[in-house]
Amino acid sequence: MTWDEPVPIRQDNVEIQIILGSTREGRFGETVARWFHGIAAERQDMGAELIDLRDWPLPFFNEARPPASGHYAPQAEAWAGTVARADGYVIVTPEYNHGYPAVLKNALDHLYSEWNNKPVAFVGYGGPAGGSRAVQQLRQVVVELQMAPIRNDIVMPLARRLFDEDGLITEASYDGRAGGLLDQLVWWARALRSARI
């Protein structure tokens, strides 16, 4: 390549955001999200950005117009800019009363086009059901945001027992599941990015 040739765009490298959907004091979600982000960050085929909803204290969605019209609450403008730069998402969600946290729904509801035509995967954790009910509900929600939920997900029953006191996972099979999930997500992120262009 000579000096005046354009730098080739790395079509294979996609940006994936890992969104932590729990914000409460004493949350366990940080351990789960850090574990997953550690695996994602080692991959050569994607960039991995950890998005903590604690850093995005959005007001309750209460706008006169839906975000589909492109009108966002002032506080949501920066949130829109952050979400827009990703090609795909992994939502890390606990299960609260057989559902997912309200703070997560609020963060989803504030935007529209930024989510459209992008893949999303889920990592659920919680009690005996491992967050599976939260994940199933989220699958229904994201379809309306015109996202593509991928097949693979991770659920972590009694999640606290799967990590040691240093936050390291003690059940090695989850690393493999995370890798398989990311393989699928990257495939979809590449495919949909080229379709969006």
Chain contacts with ligand FMN (rule: CB under 6 A): 22, 24, 27-29, 94-98, 126-127, 129
- Report the alpha-carbon distance of residue 40 to residue 31 in Å, rounded: 14
Closest separation between CB of residue 132 and ligand FMN, Å?
8
| Closer residue to ligand FMN, CB minimum distance, 129 or 141 | 129
| Closer residue to ligand FMN, CB minimum distance, 47 or 99 | 99
Closest separation between CB of residue 100 and ligand FMN, Å?
10
Closest separation between CB of residue 126 and ligand FMN, Å?
3
Tell which residue, 99, 110, 27, has the closest CA to residue 69. Answer: 110
| Contact between 140 and 105 (Cβ < 8 Å) | no
Q: What are the structure tokens assigned to 176, written together?
A: 């493999």
| Closer residue to ligand FMN, CB minimum distance, 24 or 196 | 24
Burial 13-24 (b: 16+ CB within 10 A, else e): ebebbbbbbbbe
Dihedral over Cα of 162, 163, 164, 165: its sign: negative
Closest separation between CB of residue 78 and ligand FMN, Å?
24
| Closer residue to ligand FMN, CB minimum distance, 6 or 26 | 26
